Amino acid sequence: LEAAAAADGHGGARRPAGPEDVAQTEAFLAQVVGRAAPRVTRRLQELGSAYVDRDLGPLTAKLERLHRLLPGADVAGCLALDPELLHTDVRLATANLVELAARWPGAGAALGMVEAFPALLRVEGLSERLRHAEALTRRLTGASEAKARQIVGESPELVADLWRYRGRRGRAAALSELPMAVQNQLAWG
């Protein structure tokens, strides 16, 4: 996280935010994410984020960069779901968005996946994780390659959920061995 913040030039650890910093940031974020502003601000404080500051210039600039990276996407909704999106390295996010668009080329499919699970933009080694999620989906459900890709595309959080089940120790032998929430995601496909 700190490397991503440093690469982006803002948002890294700094002095603790004072009450005025928190109030100013929360008031600004209320205009962006609505009622989620207190939770987003609190999470940014936990991260020691430099975006919690009376100087809203860096925060505004980051939001503008995210809007340019994700044209037409609900950036405010993404931020409400995942405040750490502000600390996403733009180069990694761009590479991951290109990877998603290459695998799911439909109109807006990649952006839809990001809106559902913004953490996809921060995942190191996304290509490997996508292959793993699709392969495990095929193995556990008997789905075809195309169907497995569709299932992962419709439930992108499977990329993170199924990553736990890799290698010898985390290998799920049957669908019934997975948490119920993951089973439900796979069954809806």
Q: What is the mean pLDDT of residues 34-50?
A: 93
Look over the chain and give the mean of its residue pLDDT values, rounded to a whole number.
86
Q: pLDDT tens for residues 166-188?
A: 765 556 667 777 788 888 888 76
Closest CA to 158 of 142, 175, 75, 106: 175
pLDDT value at residue 7: 41
Model confidence pLDDT, tens digit, residues 58-109: 999 999 999 999 999 999 999 999 999 999 999 999 999 999 999 998 878 9
User: Residue 41 contacts by C-beta under 8 Å, 6 or more apart in sequence?
Assistant: 22, 25, 26, 29, 52
Q: Which of 7, 82, 83 is nearest to 52 (CA)?
A: 83
Of 118, 130, 103, 132, the closest CA to residue 43 belongs to: 118
Residue 48 φ/ψ region, left for φ over 0, alpha for ψ in the -120 to 50 degree band, beta for the rest: left
Question: What pTM, to 2 d.p., does this model score?
Answer: 0.81
pLDDT of residue 169: 56
At residue 4, φ and ψ (nearest 5 deg) are: -65, -40
Residue type, 188: W
